[in-house]
Structure 1
């Protein structure tokens, strides 16, 4: 009598001890049948010890038996007594046992519900006589090796989500209770029962981005930090401010280039509303960059494509159409002009 657990790390085939532990195996099989374990997380993994699952809340405090689901009104159906058999021990890796919960407030006794664990090493005799051994992994020991090597937090939960994707019942000798059809969903769930914030199974936290993409992200972060600083000192109304799309930022100017020179050069692309070379407020010297505001965005775009790296007064200028926050770092209170084209 077997079940197949399809996990995010690989498959596990479990042979069940249906004769030695009939109630435990029936509970496990019927929970599998109603998709109770589908998308459950392995929420507790201890290296060379065990990996625990079967709690939909992934907290270690949830879970219930199939009889509790069939009879929600019963106050003592959440757990059932553990079937501990002295001959069944945790001698080999891949031993499957039920976790035993303590008695809860309002309940006469604790016992087994839905939580189970799989041992990740041989001869863990500490667990003998304390938990119900009801199965053994017969295929998928390599999956257990992968599970044993995962990185976990201080509470033992893997940083990367490891879940039971699906359960396939290969053989079930127990007849279904009449009430089972009433609680069985029409299909397997598509959303995990717990609200996990873990690394997704298809996400690689060690993956590296292309160099160009890393540089773009670095520039964006630096620009955002500069904008936030300028917001704090009052140079920007808010950090995410963005100038109009009809404004060109021109830099690498020759210090001798004047406002009227730039306006004459760029006016062939359309009507210019404002053209200003930024100068030091105290000395009046050019800071070698300027802002040009066109009447239409299309004119600004044309100027952007045509004037990049063009010689102006023996200097190759640089033109940027959509101004990022970083140039604002140049616009401190002692050098910004009385009026800028992005100010209302």
Structure 2
């Protein structure tokens, strides 16, 4: 069983999975039959993820009721349901069906207000624009798959959209054709003789009509302006990601005045005294070089109110101060605002938590200790376990003497090297006889064995 959707982006043929979701398929087929989806907008386009449609008026319109199932008996022309209590139904979720392939068609669902484990659907449906969209599994009820029309899906996927995912130029379902219908019509369903014209509510949602021919922008000045705006937006988003801005759309304070072309001898007190006649000043700072302390010949003056700042702007333009004619403007800088935000944020986390940067999970961990105490890491890596624990581990060889002999044969040179840094009393053991040395090795082995057992 198949349905053909004629959209402004191209034709899309959908094969319905009648055995897996009979109720969803019946609802979809009957809504297509009464031309309920005609002129429905395609919205919520998420590139390489999915797009949504099925609300005949559009979710942004105040006249929209969200759509109705066929059992709500909606009218194909007015899109209004005559049985509002039956606008939603409980769809089937086939466990074996996943949103694994591009072009998977499923009913959009919402959680029940009475039982959070139940989900209900009406007329809205989703078509995936990518593979392995696992986020929709269990939330959207699969009832079909696209058989033809992937070029139309690609046009929708690459369409220019706004922040809400709505295409800037309308993409709409123009007509629906049922190729095969094995279901009986529910009582009260009326099939219109022809496709109804778009309703007034639908026409009111048109932004740029799908059949409008857009002229290519050739104004170089306007194109350069758009390019700069996009570049500034991208830079702001980057600064937000790295933590230099609290948010990308941050705007400079309206009560701060920027003053430049100052005389290098002009001080903070001088400016504050001159500008204080326009209103209360919260701060006045001449920006200076960090190393030399010399004035950089510009300053920021923060007034208590926006009105005081505006009066100073109109009155102080081109005024002579210390033989320099100054220039004033409203501040376009948010550096101070960002600095205060970062300081406040960092102080809260650092004071409430330990670790590195105020987070325990980012605590610095040393993997080696060879760099401490003048010790070379090439001589001994010295991992996090202690030497005493390593010395306490049982030796190879099984027997009491055998272990001591192997330890002596393998590490004789190392023991001699260590003995140079030990006390003179331990050096004397190298001058003793072999019998005394073997006796001391046995005693040391017993001590190590007892320590390991404990």
- TM-score band (shorter)? 0.5 to 0.7
Matched, 1:83 2:101: no
Q: 1:67 aligns with which of 71, 88, 106?
A: 71
Matched, 1:116 2:125: yes
Q: 1:201 aligns with which of 210, 216, 220?
A: 210
Could you tell me how far apart the structure 1 residues matched to 2:157 and 2:36 are? 24
Q: In the superposition, relative to structure 1, how do residues 146 and 73 fare at CA in structure 2: closer, same or farther (>3 Å)?
A: closer
Could you report, residue by residue, the CA deviation over 1:203-234 in whole angstroms, capped at 9, with x for unpaired residues?
2334369xxxxxxxxxxxxxxxxxxxxxxxxx
Could you report, residue by residue, the CA deviation over 1:108-135 in whole angstroms, capped at 9, with x for unpaired residues?
x751100001000001011112211000
**Correspondence 1:263-342 to 2 at 5 A:** none
Q: 1:185 aligns with which of 167, 170, 192?
A: 192
Q: In the superposition, relative to structure 1, how do residues 103 and 76 fare at CA in structure 2: closer, same or farther (>3 Å)?
A: farther
TM-score normalised to the size of structure 1?
Answer: 0.56
1:191 CA displacement: 1.6
Q: 2:149 aligns with which of 137, 140, 155?
A: 140
Provide the residue aligned with 1:25 in structure 2: 25
Could you tell me how far apart the structure 2 residues matched to 1:88 and 1:206 are? 44
Q: In the superposition, relative to structure 1, how do residues 26 and 171 fare at CA in structure 2: closer, same or farther (>3 Å)?
A: same
Q: In the superposition, relative to structure 1, how do residues 126 and 207 fare at CA in structure 2: closer, same or farther (>3 Å)?
A: same
For structure 2, the 5+ residue unaligned runs are 76-80, 219-454
Q: Quick check: 2:71–2:186 contact (8 Å CA) kept in 1?
A: no
Provide the residue aligned with 1:153 in structure 2: 162
Q: In the superposition, relative to structure 1, how do residues 70 and 155 fare at CA in structure 2: closer, same or farther (>3 Å)?
A: closer
Q: Look up the SS of the partner of 1:28 in the other structure.
A: helix
Q: Look up the SS of the partner of 1:185 in the other structure.
A: coil
Q: Quick check: 1:79–1:110 contact (8 Å CA) kept in 2?
A: no
Give the length in aligned residue pairs: 206
CA RMSD of superposed structures (Å)? 2.5
Q: In the superposition, relative to structure 1, how do residues 79 and 97 fare at CA in structure 2: closer, same or farther (>3 Å)?
A: same
Provide the residue aligned with 1:270 in structure 2: none
Q: Look up the SS of the partner of 2:73 in the other structure.
A: helix
Provide the residue aligned with 2:254 in structure 1: none
Provide the residue aligned with 2:252 in structure 1: none
For structure 1, the 5+ residue unaligned runs are 210-344
Provide the residue aligned with 1:129 in structure 2: 138
Q: Quick check: 2:106–2:141 contact (8 Å CA) kept in 1?
A: yes
Provide the residue aligned with 1:41 in structure 2: 41
Could you tell me how far apart the structure 2 residues matched to 1:110 and 1:80 are? 9
Could you tell me how far apart the structure 1 residues matched to 2:82 and 2:176 are? 28
Could you tell me how far apart the structure 2 residues matched to 1:104 and 1:68 are? 19
Larger RCO, structure (CA 8 Å, separation 6 or more): 1
1:197 CA displacement: 3.4
Could you tell me how far apart the structure 1 residues matched to 2:93 and 2:189 are? 26
1:200 CA displacement: 1.3
Q: In the superposition, relative to structure 1, how do residues 35 and 73 fare at CA in structure 2: closer, same or farther (>3 Å)?
A: closer
